[in-house]
Structures are given as C-alpha cells and as structure tokens.
Copies of this chain bind each other. A is one copy, B any other.
C-alpha cells in the first residue's frame, strides 16, 4: 500500500477545526459536545469516502469497518475540556489513512475506530470500557459529568446515528498510535516509541493523625505533628523504593491537605494521595508493602496513627508480542536506530480493547512532554514517521 502523509496531515488539520480553541492549535471537543458530534459526522464521511462501512454503536463509538477479518486501528476524537489537537485524534486519522491506502491497494483489510469519552467526562475511557465489557451499559448510564448530566442523556444525543455494538470477533488485533504525552522521547531525541506495556496504577488515600496543638507553646519534642510525619514518610519511601524501582516506575504525592491548616497550629492531621505506577504487578505489590510498612513505622516512631484508604488499582497490560514485533520492525525501517521501547504511563483505550483481542501501541514524541493543553504539539516529520511505522506494521502483520 502507498500512504499519503500530506493527505494524513491535511485531515488532521481539518479535524482540529471542530472545536478549535482559537489558542494555538488547541481544541475544545469534550465527548458528546456539539463539536465532538460534528467531528464524528465529518469523520464518518471520510471513512465512507475511503470505502469503509460507517457504524456508530450505542455509546457513540464510531467504526469504519472493512470487509472480512481486519486489523483495527484507532484511538479517540473527543478531547479534554482544554485539549490539544493530537492526543487521540492522531491515532484515528493515522488509522484512516492506512485503511484508505490499504483499500486503494486492494488490501490488507483495515478497520478504523474513534472511541467515545476516552477523556473521562463520565467514567474512565468510557466508550471502550463499555465495548470491552469492563462496565455494563446500565452502570455506565448512571455515570454523571461535573454538571450532573448522566451518561444516558449524553449518549442519547447521538441516538439517531447509532446501531448495535460491533462484534469484536471480526478484528484480528488493535493497534493504537498516540502521542507520548510525556517527555521521554522528546528529551532523548527519539522519533518513535514502541510500547511494552500500559502500566498498572495503584492509588491510596493515607491519613496521619497526630495532635493539633499551639505552635508557640508546644515544644518540639512533645509534638505529634502530622505534616512532619508526611514529610518523613515521603523521604522514607523515596529511599526504600530505590532498591525496587526501574527508571520507568513513577510515584506521586499529588494531593495533600493539612488540618486545621493554620500557620500558628501544629497540624493534627495530614491526608494525602499516594499513587504509583509500573508495568509489573509484582513490583506494584512490593511498593505497596514498602508504603504500608514505612507509614506504620513512622506513625509508631512519632506517636501518631495512620489510616489507609481503599487501594484503587488498574492492572498492567502487556502488549501483544506479534503486534509489538511488527511495530518494532516498522520502526527500525522508518527510523533506524532512532526508536525505543517504553511503557505507557498513561491509560489508553488499548487497555480495554485488550479484553477482546491482541493489542499494541506506538508513540511519537510530545514536544516538551506537554499534553492535555492547548500548546500540545509534535513535529510534523515525527507525525509522518509514526504513520509510516503504523503502515509498515500493518503490512507485515497481514503478509
């Protein structure tokens, strides 16, 4: 097949006119907004023009279906409330170009998808979660956005377009191309990233309970200061993790609230989020043990108590070897010596699709690692390189 990078870039720029923010190349195209629905209708036209059969499912996932067994390419075209022009759009338009070129060449058989509400206006990766069977439609229908709108009412806006759910048995696999949304490729001047796995996430609320006291009359040695416990805990886990983590492991204390949070009062309580991500479920478990042990020890040592909230988790998803191998071979063809393997620290629709079929992912660099912002961008040479890798991988798989 012969892909056309100019046509691909032209479509990408056309798509960003739907919900254009007027600031840089940014878009405002949340799931089920007028801009999102208009973009999907435009995309359906392009799919039809490419010779694909257009199919909206009950939640607004848009498929461009090829005949017979096919490889499925795509991502999502909804955006964050203040989003970038690439994010999921890139994978959908790259998929469209490969499917179109394949159709023009008389094969292989390539289908395209734009999942709905990947950005989680209602749930988490909602459209692919329903299709993949992670949550049922009834449960999803009760989800609400920040304004109280239900998912049921939101998807009703597209009811005139929709048919039933697409049978996943017709797909041999799913490949999602995406911007990295992080700085690894950009900072190392690497053009292509082949994803090894989508990391698992653990997230837990932790609270240290000490003794609220007067900050003037309470000597240091009699304090049970919850902020000091938090700070000591942070130092302790940073130290103990060193023996367990890889350069791809991440952990974050992103949320913290002191009580009563006044400059003249020794904090009696510190509640904070502890989140950690890694591609290896065993490593996630080992980190959890360190977290619990360190928190317990610090509480004991300083006369505080510690409470652990529910452990929320998503399991790591390893990419399929065959699909990943095809992407690696394609990357070596297109960008010899200038590609790498890395985990995805962010969630993607591929996590849900993996419940149905083999999946793999391909990254191109995000300039300065910026994403979910109007100034998200990628060099057009890198976008085209990613497209070529995707096309070569599809050819190789279908050969």
- Partner-binding segment picked from A46-54, A228-236, A328-336: A228-236
| Pair B222/A187 contact, Cβ less than 8 Å | yes
Q: Is A2 an interface residue (CB 8 A)?
A: no
Q: Which residue of B lies closest to A215 (CB)?
A: B252
Q: Is A254 an interface residue (CB 8 A)?
A: yes
| Pair A219/B266 contact, Cβ less than 8 Å | no
| Pair B222/A231 contact, Cβ less than 8 Å | no
| Pair B215/A254 contact, Cβ less than 8 Å | yes
- Decide: A214 near B181, CB < 8 A? Known: A222-B187, A234-B228: yes
In the assembled complex, the Cα of A355 lies from the Cα of B391 at a distance in Å of 84
- Partner-binding segment picked from A27-35, A105-113, A257-265: A257-265
Partner of A219, one of B182, B218, B347: B182
In the assembled complex, the Cα of A248 lies from the Cα of B187 at a distance in Å of 49
Q: Is A216 an interface residue (CB 8 A)?
A: yes
**Which chain B residues lie closer than 8 Å to A221 at the CB level?**
247
Closest CB of chain B to A311's CB: distance in Å? 13
Segment 347-399 of A: residues with Cβ below 8 Å from B: 347, 369, 371-372
**Which chain B residues lie closer than 8 Å to A217 at the CB level?**
180-184, 344-346, 369, 371
Q: Is A250 an interface residue (CB 8 A)?
A: yes
Closest CB of chain B to A79's CB: distance in Å? 15
| Pair A227/B253 contact, Cβ less than 8 Å | yes
Q: Is A267 an interface residue (CB 8 A)?
A: yes
| Pair B250/A347 contact, Cβ less than 8 Å | no
Q: Is A201 an interface residue (CB 8 A)?
A: yes
Q: Is A301 an interface residue (CB 8 A)?
A: no
Q: Is A275 an interface residue (CB 8 A)?
A: yes
- Decide: A263 near B254, CB < 8 A? Known: A187-B222, A217-B182, A231-B231: yes
**Which chain B residues lie closer than 8 Å to A238 at the CB level?**
228
Partner of A218, one of B199, B257, B369: B369
Partner of A214, one of B214, B253, B263, B372: B372
| Pair B220/A250 contact, Cβ less than 8 Å | yes
Closest CB of chain B to A278's CB: distance in Å? 11
Closest CB of chain B to A345's CB: distance in Å? 4
In the assembled complex, the Cα of A265 lies from the Cα of B267 at a distance in Å of 24
Q: Which residue of B lies closest to A258 (CB)?
A: B256
**Which chain B residues lie closer than 8 Å to A181 at the CB level?**
214, 217
Interface flags for A133-145 (1: CB within 8 Å of B; 0: not) read: 0000000000000
New A-B contacts (12) at CB < 8 Å, excluding given A184-B222, A231-B231 = A181-B214, A182-B214, A183-B219, A203-B264, A214-B369, A216-B344, A216-B345, A218-B345, A220-B251, A227-B256, A230-B231, A252-B265
